[in-house]
Amino acid sequence: MKRTAHIGAVTIAAALGLAACGSSTTKPAAGGSTTTQKPSGSSDNGSATCGKPSGSGAYKVAFVYVGTVNDGGWTTAHDKGRQFAQTNLGDKVKTTYKATVKEGPEAAAAIESLIADGNRMIFATSFGFQDSMETEAKKHPEVCFEQATGFKTSANFAEYFGAAEDTDYLTGMAAGAASKNGKLGFVAPFPIPEVIREINSFALGAQTTHPGATVQVAWTKSWFDPTKERQAAEGLVAAGVDALGQGQDSPATGEVAKAKKLPWAGYDTDQSANFPDNWLTATVYNWGPYYQSRIAAAMAGTWKSGSYYGGPKDDFVGLAPFGKLVDQKTKDAIASKLAGFKDGSFYHLTGPLKDQSGAEKVAAGKALELKDILSMDWFVEGVKGSPKG
Amino acid sequence: MRSIAFERRTNTPKWLRIAVPMFGIAIALVLGAMLLAWTGHATTGTYRQILHRGFTDPGTFATTLVAATPLLFTGLTAAIAYRMGVFNIGGEGQLFIGAMFASFVGLGLGSAPTVVVVASMILAGAVGGSLWASIAAVLRDRFRCNEIITTLMLNYLAGILIQYLIFSSHSYWRELTGTGALFPQGRMLSERAQWPNPHIGGTPVPFGFIVGISFAVLIFVLLRSTRFGYRVRVIADAPAAAKYAGINARRTTFAVLALSGAMAGIGGASDVGDFRHTLDPKGLQQAGYGYTGIVVAALGRLNPIAVVFVAILMGGLNTAGLALQGPDFPAGLVGTLQGLLLFCTLGGEGLARYRIVIRRRAGSASRSAAPRSSSPRSAASPTEAPGLATGEVGG
């Protein structure tokens, strides 16, 4: 399991008026990257009263992961981010982590243990850690807390996430072009807005390079469960799909694709080296620079709480290198859309959009508002499966 | 032709019962030290840290109790059933259903006085766990379905059910407003419905842990000093004698499974009331309390009082494991150390009860049917491991 969910919620929370995040964002910037707040922090609900260095030793920072650091996906990517920050900040900082921490009381225990060890800053990378993080943040105002994918914030508790739906549109383009029969499969974790908008984006992207393409969804109800992921992928292949995408933490889907010699678009981590023959590309999060800047801010006493929702524009989300199955024409098409995301001239969740029944859901020319995106509970036309799981 | 066989000891000396687990722990520590040295970690430093961060540090002992609480309940679940040779593997599912029932009541009684809510949640959890276990009891009674299979299958079913309540339906349990619109989640209990956290000797103790200890004592007395307990023991140890004596094995089996399920169900109530304050299918399924409870019961030799201490031990190992692991100390190494300890202690347990004999095969088969349970139960350990109590041994 993992992580989760959700979203940038931050932004979301602000957009829905659910939380006093103090953000004024109301919709994603065109270009899809809804950067509500820069990591440096423009939020007004936090000032750096937490995370002040104590003592003279290295500044201690800890990460709480839901998976193993070698899951080849979500947690691997976060741990690479941790190492990036550690390398760039050098000896002044000492980072550590706790892996395979279970959501619930055990997460609270891990955080307590880390604080007892002298850590001044805690990053947690699963949605399911949210309640524990909130409670611990209240108990330890001297420590800075940051959580990926959640939506609760307080003076010493910030949130961060990225607009994977933007780059999933691009991976969908690659998968659509690589499919021969136009039937794509997507191995998906939970029927939640985050995942639903990723699937929709994947389908919309596929339909641009392969008109009429469909995306069949198989739910695993788990963030990280290689066995279930593999079974789901096999089920999709048996149902006739000839290209696979995923929103899971592990590359198990890619292994099925490899065995069946089918193109595969991954998620979270660049797996091109392990899947040279069937790799397309993947949405990858660029956690490292964010971690580095946040840790540096906490050390300098300028850390502020807030909700950060990065996108292609600030390179928070991007694409892994292309595999050999992606032809030049597709690469060029993807490059131009990516440029559009970056300069704000293109946003894919713009009408006309039809739902699964073929009824028009979003009128032509109307871009979806952030709150609609963050609470998306319907599939676009061409997606097969139920958005209820 | 010679063969090696495990032969049941007709009489396990008392000193052996104490020496064996001690020896098992010593072996585990030595093997663990070799493993630590081989992977380049400080041996005594690591052990000292396990002791400190799991048990002796006052701050972390509170955490240990939190980890121990669900294991205490699921340990009791397994201990009661196995004592009678009923293999309830379903602590997991019974805990889920207990959590489901208790959260239903806790949400509904949100504004009632805390004492009313807590008592109702405990009762609801017990009823939920009992009912779920009774399904297996009925199937066993009416259709002779093996309860190992049915309780295991019911675990999956219970997992799917609570998952459905939160993720796939607009159920009473699910939060639909606020952040619930962003991610499927359970409704939170009101402040008043959250269980108290009394401080004992400066350490906050989960209320559920106190409830669990109370039940451990009750069950100990029930099994030892009541007619019901006597029936359970006779059915387990001498089914034929029970039949002659006119003991109703069917009814007793039902009662035992219901009681066993009730313990898991209260564990589920405690999970909601003490810790999560909501029905959290994802977190519960990750936790695996039900399965760990089987280990707890076996290590405690099915003695309810021993289960309390083993639960604390396991909770402490878990807490210490979290403190140990990091970039230089992989989670897998922590798990291996914990596994060594459990394996050596449980393995030693077998040797305490069986002896290894080497003998000629011809004509010796009949000798293996050793008399059952002829060892008098000592006060210190009035129970025996189920597999050993009922299994046939042979060469």
Write the ipTM: 0.80
- In a 13 Å sphere around the CA of B257, the CA atoms on its Cβ side amount to 27
Residue A107, pLDDT score: 95
> Of A28, A41, A16, A5, which Cα lies nearest the Cα of A349?
A28
Which chain B residues have a beta carbon less than 8 Å from that of A191? 167-168, 184
Residue B361, pLDDT score: 60
CA distance A212 to B162: 37
Name the A residues in 37-76 with CB < 8 Å from any B CB.
Answer: 68
Fill in the DSSP letter of residue B93. H
Which chain A residues have a beta carbon less than 8 Å from that of B283? 102-104, 128
**Helical (H) or strand (E) element with A236:** helix A226-238
Q: Residue A33 pLDDT > 60, yes or no?
A: no
* Predicted confidence (pLDDT) per residue in B287-313, tens digit: 999 999 999 999 898 999 999 999 999
Domains defined for chain A, CATH in brackets: 9-163+286-310 (3.40.50.2300), 164-284+319-384 (3.40.50.2300)
- Ramachandran area for residue B108 (φ above 0: left; ψ -120 to 50: alpha; else beta): alpha
Name the A residues in 92-131 with CB < 8 Å from any B CB.
Answer: 95-106, 108-110, 112-113, 116-117, 127-128, 131
What rounded mean pLDDT belongs to chain A?
Answer: 86
Of B163, B280, B327, the CB nearest to A221: B163
Q: Residue A70 pLDDT > 90, yes or no?
A: no
A14 CA to chain B: closest CA distance, Å? 11
Name the A residues in 178-217 with CB < 8 Å from any B CB.
Answer: 190-194
Residue A47, pLDDT score: 53
Q: Residue A21 pLDDT > 60, yes or no?
A: no
Asked if B287's CB is within 8 angstroms of A374's CB, the reply is: no
User: Does residue B138 sit in helix, strand or coil?
Assistant: helix
Mean pLDDT of the region A66-88: 92
- Name the pLDDT band for B388 (thresholds 50, 70, 90): very low
The larger pLDDT score, comparing residue A38 to residue B319, is at B319
Q: What is the secondary structure of B199-268 as a DSSP string?
A: EETTEE--HHHHHHHHHHHHHHHHHHHSHHHHHHHHHHH-HHHHHHTT--HHHHHHHHHHHHHHHHHHHH
> Of B366, B177, B127, which Cα lies nearest the Cα of A13?
B177
Mean pLDDT of the region A343-371: 91
* Predicted confidence (pLDDT) per residue in A145-187, tens digit: 999 988 888 999 999 999 999 999 999 999 999 999 999 999 9
B323, closest residue in chain A (CA to CA): A113
Task: Encode B129-151: b = buried (16+ Cβ within 10 Å), e = exposed.
Answer: bbbbbbbbbebbbeeebebeebb
B302 CA to chain A: closest CA distance, Å? 26
Asked if B322's CB is within 8 angstroms of A106's CB, the reply is: yes
What rounded mean pLDDT belongs to chain B?
Answer: 87
Structural contact between residues A34 and A11, judged by C-beta atoms closer than 8 angstroms: yes
Q: Residue A20 pLDDT > 50, yes or no?
A: no
**Which residue in B282, B289, B291, B292 has the most chain A C-beta atoms within 10 A of its own C-beta, making it the best mutation to test that interface?**
B282
The larger pLDDT score, comparing residue B79 to residue A36, is at B79
Residue A43, pLDDT score: 41
Rg (chain A; Cα; Å): 20
B168 CA to chain A: closest CA distance, Å? 6
Mean pLDDT of the region B247-253: 90
* Predicted confidence (pLDDT) per residue in B118-146, tens digit: 999 999 999 999 999 999 999 999 999 99
Backbone angles phi, psi at B187, to 5 degrees: -70, 145
* Predicted confidence (pLDDT) per residue in A43-64, tens digit: 444 455 788 887 778 999 999 9
Please tell me the pTM assigned to this model: 0.82
Which chain A residues have a beta carbon less than 8 Å from that of B59? 112, 116
Structural contact between residues A316 and A285, judged by C-beta atoms closer than 8 angstroms: yes
Of B67, B183, B318, the CB nearest to A5: B183
Asked if B167's CB is within 8 angstroms of A96's CB, the reply is: no
- Name the pLDDT band for B381 (thresholds 50, 70, 90): very low
Residue B1, pLDDT score: 62
> Chains A, B: CB contacts under 8 A, how many?
109
Helices (DSSP H) in A90-192: which residue ranges? 105-116, 130-139, 164-178
CA distance A28 to A126: 23
Name the B residues in 329-348 with CB < 8 Å from any A CB.
Answer: 330-331
Of A7, A112, A193, the CB nearest to B63: A112
* Predicted confidence (pLDDT) per residue in A283-338, tens digit: 999 999 999 999 999 999 999 999 898 999 999 999 999 999 999 999 999 999 99
B88-B314-B70-B183 Cα dihedral, nearest 10 degrees: -110
Asked if B179's CB is within 8 angstroms of A105's CB, the reply is: no
**Helical (H) or strand (E) element with B36:** helix B14-38
